[in-house]
Structure 1
Amino acid sequence: MSDQVVCPGDRLVSAAEYSAGHGTHVRDGYVCASLVGVKQVTKTGGQKPLVEVIRRGSQPLVPKPGAAVTAKVTKVNPRLASAEILCIGTKPVDQPFNGIIRVQDVRATEVDKVEMYSSFRPGDIVRAEVLSLGDSRSYYLSTAKNELGVVYAKSVAGQPMVAISWQEMQCPQTKATEKRKVAKVTA
């Protein structure tokens, strides 16, 4: 009975005899499939067996609230920074998603003193967290945690900059400093 392909709405087993797991729901006393996939039954010690529907093949990679993402800043204005999400966790996306870092989501403290131009510049690579799905065009992102913020930036001279504090980066060639919301490096 395992490896049976099922579709949403298909009745799988009696809810009185089995527990509903991932990819299923209970309706009219039956555990039913919630998605297309393969029915899988797992025996549990002393409890009802668990019925799940497991998808086969590759899943599209999309940002979810709470996910860590890597994004490239494309535009900055006084209220927000626009960015393209390039990676979700450590996996690159097939096509970039649009994200927005609003001024109130840059850092956790002294939110009223945040200046977007002192936090990000176009071309910066940032580590951020997905707050929500946002509006119809962009995900809302946050850099409010210490480990979130700019991880890579180029100086005016075109050199990769080095973080010298949580709010400054320095060009190794010209020794010029620029303000950024720098991500804390974790060892």
Structure 2
Amino acid sequence: MPFVRNGERVIPGQKLCVIEELTPGKGTYEDENGIVRAAIPGVVRLDLMNYVVEVKGKSADQELPSGKDIVIGYVLGMRDEVAAIKIVKSVHGVLKGMVFTGALHISQASPRGYLNTLYDGYRPGDIVKLKVLSGPPYVLSAKGNRLGVILAHCSNCGAPLYLRKDGNLKCKRCGNTEKRVTSVDYVLRER
């Protein structure tokens, strides 16, 4: 028996049901204990014919990223094997006014082979374009030639880095050269 009724208003994190009762739909997620919870504020919709529970927000602005969505964000912080990414925009127009956090694991960090550490391809503050694999919590991937870093700044002086023809990034202010896992959509290119 679900914890909520059809049409009931809920808040993010509120218990809706257990996974054995109903499948999580839009506006919901399954936590690590098998509890389906609300991901956004809104109204519960129980589809008992298809065994799905959804939460409908006030507007399309509360649409959540889903698998295979392409998102834009920036690297909040990182360790050798995982980076926290603040997702701020979807390429397909969802997320208006909303911000989410995702994780980029080293196994999903490069389409061109293995990195020894995430620092070989990313730095905090880099603007990235990534694909959503699953979530929430959001698991992200840079496996694809249009995915990866789309704008980076110099680790020495903070100036924007320009993509050179050899694939390295160069700072025009201090001359520093750095490497990143760059997207073919990298914003600044050396001429």
Q: State TM-score, norm by structure 2.
A: 0.62
- Kindly indicate whether the alpha-carbon contact (under 8 Å) linking 1:165 and 1:182 is maintained by their aligned counterparts in 2: no
Q: Which residue of 2 aligns with 1:176?
A: 176
Q: Which residue of 2 aligns with 1:126?
A: 128
Which structure has greater strand proportion? Answer: 1
Paired letter, 1:185:
D
- Off by >4 Å, runs of 4+ in structure 1: none
Identity of matched residues, %: 25
RMSD: 3.0
1:62-73 equivalences under 5 Å are 62-73=64-75
CA gap 1:118/1:131 in 2 versus in 1, 3 angstroms: same
Residue 109 of structure 2 is aligned with which of 106, 111, 118? 106
Max radius of gyration: which structure?
A: 1
Q: Distance in 2 between matches of 1:115 and 1:140?
A: 18
Deviation per CA, 1:115-135: give whole Å up to 9, x if none.
20011111110000001116x
Q: Distance in 2 between matches of 1:114 and 1:166?
A: 21
Corresponding pairs, count? 139
Q: State TM-score, norm by structure 1.
A: 0.63
**Distance apart, 1:158 and its partner CA:** 2.1
User: Could you list the runs of 5+ residues in structure 1 that have no partner in the other structure?
Assistant: 1-6, 9-22, 28-33, 37-54
1:82-161 equivalences under 5 Å are 82-89=84-91, 91=93, 92-111=95-114, 113-133=115-135, 138-155=137-154, 156-161=156-161
User: Could you list the runs of 5+ residues in structure 2 that have no partner in the other structure?
Assistant: 1-5, 8-44, 187-191
